[in-house]
Chain A
Amino acid sequence: MATPAKTPAGADPKQLERTGSVREIGSQAVWSLSSCKPGFGVDQLRDDNLETYWQSDGSQPHLVNIQFRRKTTVKMLCIYADYKSDESYTPSKISVRVGNNFHNLQEIRQLEMVEPSGWIHIPLCDLVKGPIRTFMIQIAVLANHQNGRDTHMRQIKVYTPVDDTSVGKFPRCTTVDFMMYWTMR
């Protein structure tokens, strides 16, 4: 097969948040890593800063575990990966697993990235039921570019769909005239 096309970068997830259709819920979860180099851990992964990153320090697969207090609807994940800055540390094969706990995980997505250069959006939609509902998500880095051993991950965001049905089971309205009367404050 010819050289595979580079994975295109998705849009900045902040813009998604501003549409009001999704909400970032990483702060409601407990994050843990399979390994990390001191000073390059969970805080750097979740600090909204694309300059800092998590660097793993063990054997593959490298894992990021996200555990919620309660079963949460997750619509998508966004991972920031940049081949130009991370070279061989850039993940190339990522597997997403969900379940109730560590013993109950099931892979639902596997994705290959070729020289990514920005945000990668991973929608986690069940076939019939829409966004998945889960207690735990595990992101496994199975392989890196150029067969690197350790990986860098700069930022990960978890999004849930906003349930905006304040009254009635209707989708969001679009005009201010409607929105004004939708709710009271």
Chain B
Amino acid sequence: MCLCVFALNSFGILPLEPSPGDPTYLQNYGHSGSGMEPPPAAGPPKKSVARINQVGTKSVFTQSGNSREVIPMPFNPTQTTAPQTSTTPQVLSPTIAAPPNVQPRRSSRLFTSASSTAKENSKKLKMKFPTKIPNRKTKTKTGKGGMTPSNLNESIELLKLDSSISEGKGSLGSSQLQAFTLQKAAADGLMSLMRDIGRGYVALCSYNCKEAINILSQLPTHHYNTGWVLNQIGRAHFELAEYTQAERIFSEVRRIESYRVEGMEIYSTTLWHLQKDVALSALSKDLTDMDKNSPEPWCVAGNCFSLQREHDIAIKFFTRAIQVDPGFAYAYTLLGHELVLTEELEKALGCFRNAIRLNKRHYNAWYGLGMIYYKQEKFNLAEIHFKKALSINPQSSVLLCHIGVVQHALKKSDHALETLNKAIGIDPKNPLCKFHRASILFASEKYKAALQELEELKQIVPKESLVYFLIGKVYKKLGQTHLALMNFSWAMDLDPKGANNQIKEAIDKRYLPDDEEPVTPEDYPYYSTDMEESQESSMTDADDTQLHTAESDEVL
């Protein structure tokens, strides 16, 4: 009889001994084992798993080896001595001191590197009876390696073997049973690996991201350091808005598996959020050179141009991604976002709806719809859509933040504050939640609380001009004009271009009659505005002369 023993080493469940004596564990069915050497008497010591791992960096699911046909080879003595090379299919626990003449199982290739075991199998005895359980379950659960009909045949053969075992036929005896136990243990090992991975994946899909990261981090190292697992972890960080960590993990994925395109669109969005244009353009070039027929490289290219604010070109690339794969929902979402940025709101609505049609749980698309309705000031609809997105992804502080703002726009400020508190509770590192909370407090005239919030925010993000801008507005309302102007000047220093108009207007309002103190304009020549502003009539002529900085430069 031949029983295949395979390595559970990779699961860390049972230690393995990659021993030269392994062949001695192999035996053809029916042979008396005449040619077999007795196994090392001491029982193979537990050798380290390193020998498998050193080549076994491929994931368990690269089943390239499994596609080979089983070639039952006649037992011959040479085989027992031939494969002294490393990573022979491992025997299970040393407690099985001398299971005589057990053949390596085909599925051993699952747990060792495909390349080495492939060589092994050509030299060594071929398995006749691979485990039925792992193969079948592997087939259903992962489907990645692609089980072939040959495995099915082996499974069937194994069934026969098992039944023969259970019938206790022939000279089976305890060795047979032990081998069967080994099979079972191996299957259990595989099962528990699949279960862990599955649990991690389920957690990620229900957007229970911290849990997912925990579970997946507990996998053994050589499974952890694979493209698929790291990809999922990177995605989990991305969903938590922890973009720096996500970027780190994705770059690790790129290093390990530079041929991988799946999941790269999330990496590109991470880089987009972090505004790392160099990395993003390099990624885009690599991927589009490598593979023009999958949607992910085109999505990356689109993100790259979107970061450069070339929205028309980005739209072209996203449309190309959709052409290449019309079932790729994320491409529609990204296209929708670009269309929003080019103010084509109707088309954007269509794109987001397409994304939802393809994948109802694509919360990004629900978020996109909410954003469009918010822009169109249809706040009720916006709230509904944001809430739908939140129901899919309940731990996103950004979503909660948006809901808070919309509720505030709907005049439900108490709800808004509650929502924002929840958001801050979930993710204290999100500065925007605090900022919006401060602005809502300001709008509800709770100035002290707002100020406190903003002071905390200043500690977290000291270089953000919006913070100073809001502080200035609060002080202005409180009547402390000097502090207000000081903060406005800081805000302008930090961002002379973008916030220019609003800050300038805020400063200009200083000169309107509702302020008590008469402010002498020559104290603040810096705040002169360009000549289009009407308030300049309230400013003295001294300021007018400073306005004629070339207008063309003003807008820069």
Contact = CB atoms under 8 A, between A and B. Distances in A.
Contacts of A185: 269, 272-273, 333-334, 337, 364
Contacts of A19: 497-498, 556
A177 B432 CA distance: 9
B5 to A, nearest CB: 50
A171 B432 contact: no
Interface string B490-522: 000011011111110000000000000000000
B460 to A, nearest CB: 8
B230 interface: no
B374 A177 contact: no
Interface in B467-500: 469-470, 494-495, 497-500
B501 A175 contact: no
A167 B465 CA distance: 16
Nearest to B502: A171
A177 B464 contact: yes
Nearest to A17: B309
B463 interface: yes
Contacts, number: 128
A132 to B, nearest CB: 11
A114 to B, nearest CB: 14
B132 to A, nearest CB: 46
Interface in A128-169: 128, 130, 163-164, 166-168
Interface string B327-361: 00000011001000011000000000000000000
A174 B465 contact: yes
Given A11-B553, A76-B555, A167-B405, A174 B494 contact: yes
B275 A179 contact: yes
B498 A172 contact: yes
Given A18-B308, A19-B498, A167-B436, A181 B401 contact: yes
Interface residues of A, number: 45
Interface string B413-436: 000000000000000001111011
B289 interface: no
A96 B375 CA distance: 31
Interface residues of B, number: 60
A170 B275 contact: no
Interface stretch (A55-63, A82-90, A119-127): A119-127
A39 B345 CA distance: 36
Contacts of B552: 8, 10-11, 119-121
A170 B555 contact: no
Contact of A18 (B309, B371, B432, B534): B309
B399 interface: yes
Interface string A1-32: 00000001011000111111111000100000
A81 B465 CA distance: 37
B498 A21 contact: yes
Nearest to A168: B405
A119 B552 CA distance: 9
Contact of B241 (A17, A21, A181): A181
Contacts of A127: 532, 534
A121 B364 CA distance: 39
B556 A178 contact: no
B41 interface: no
A180 B551 contact: no
Contacts of B470: 170
A184 B556 contact: no
A35 B422 CA distance: 63
Contacts of A167: 374, 401-402, 405, 436
A105 interface: no
B499 A178 contact: no
B274 interface: yes
Given A20-B309, A21-B497, A171-B501, A182 B432 contact: yes
A172 to B, nearest CB: 4
A178 B431 contact: yes
A11 B374 CA distance: 35
B454 to A, nearest CB: 13
Interface in B373-424: 374-375, 396-399, 401-402, 405
Nearest to B239: A184
A182 B274 CA distance: 12
Given A174-B498, A184-B396, 15 more contacts: A10-B552, A11-B552, A16-B556, A19-B498, A164-B498, A166-B371, A167-B405, A170-B502, A171-B469, A171-B500, A173-B465, A174-B494, A178-B435, A181-B431, A182-B432
15 contacts: A11-B556, A16-B556, A21-B497, A123-B551, A166-B374, A167-B402, A171-B469, A173-B466, A174-B498, A177-B461, A178-B435, A180-B243, A181-B241, A181-B431, A181-B432
